[in-house]
Amino acid sequence: MQPAISIPQHWGYPRFNLEQRTQQGLILGFYYYPPGTELAEQFDDGWRYVLMPNKNSDEISYLQENQIQPLSPQELFTQITAEIEFYQRQISILQQQLAVVTGGSSNG
């Protein structure tokens, strides 16, 4: 069963999803400032997103929905393809290391 997030009906639905890749980075989380609250009056109501601009850094940014730009299909394709190629190289290196450990025999 997939985990579910319940959003009250009187809140607008978030524009972006968890783990969505954007021009500003990967979305790690989000939270909502409901209208009529002190935080909404101070910072504007609506969704805020927690993004990790670079997966090799501990840097985190907090952006409003209107500050985030989605990736184009081509940009998304390029990012995902590069990540697949990276992990394929890692798998190849691990397979070579495993072959050394097992004396060249493999069970798969």
Mean pLDDT of 74-87: 96
Q: Which residue has the higher pLDDT, 98 or 5?
A: 98
User: Residue range 14-24: average pLDDT?
Assistant: 95
Question: Token pair of 13, please?
Answer: 């639905």
Q: What is the CA radius of gyration of the chain?
A: 20
Amino acid in the structure at residue 23? Q
Q: Determine the length of the chain.
A: 108
Rounded distance, CA 93 to CA 89, Å? 6
Res. 93: pLDDT tops 90: yes
Residue 5 has pLDDT above 90, yes or no: no
Comparing 90 with 58, the larger pLDDT belongs to 90
The arithmetic mean of pLDDT across residues 1-11, rounded, is 83
Mean pLDDT of 10-19: 92
Separation between Cα atoms, residue 47 and residue 44, nearest integer Å: 9
Query: Which amino acid, residue 69?
Result: Q
pLDDT value at residue 106: 58
Alpha-carbon span 66 to 40, nearest angstrom: 15
pLDDT surpasses 60 at 39:
yes
List for the chain the helix, strand, coil content (%; round to 5). Answer: 35, 20, 45
